[in-house]
Amino acid sequence: MRYFIVICLLLSSFVVAQEKKAKVSFKKEIMPVLIKKCMGCHNTEDEGPSGLYLDDYKELMKGDSKHGPVIKSGNSEESLFIQKLKGTAKFGKQLPRGKIPLDDETIEMISTWIDQGAKNN
């Protein structure tokens, strides 16, 4: 019984913590980062490394790059996009390639957006 109560407490605090996070806007917060940090390489005008284009929401979510969908809606940890930014992916290098990695706050913000359902909001 005691364990049950502990688990309930843990679960409820988890839910509260999730709800507390402000909604992240793709258009206002994510897209500017992509334009600034990623589109130099991943754009439809150029080759788009690994067939990944980040010109807009549609391209990002298309899921036809070399290793399939890079965003797993609702699961940032399993999203290749986040693994690539953190440098934990099983192949290739940390991105943006040869440049300064994104700061933790920005990666956290993108993770939150994915966990909130990766909407075109």
- Count the neighbouring beta carbons within 10 Å of the beta carbon of residue 15: 10
Least Å from the CB of residue 49 to ligand HEC: 3
Query: CA-CA distance, 94 to 69, in Å (whole number)?
Result: 18
**40 vs 117, beta carbon nearer ligand HEC:** 40
Dihedral angle, C-alpha 48, 91, 97, 117, nearest 10 °: 70
**19 vs 105, beta carbon nearer ligand HEC:** 105
Least Å from the CB of residue 53 to ligand HEC: 10
Element (H, E) at 115: helix 104-115
Query: CA-CA distance, 106 to 65, in Å (whole number)?
Result: 23
| In the complex, residue closest to ligand HEC by CB | 92
Least Å from the CB of residue 10 to ligand HEC: 32
Which residues of this protein are in contact with ligand HEC, per CB under 6 A?
A: 37-38, 40-42, 49-50, 52, 65-67, 70, 80-81, 84-85, 91-93, 95-99, 102
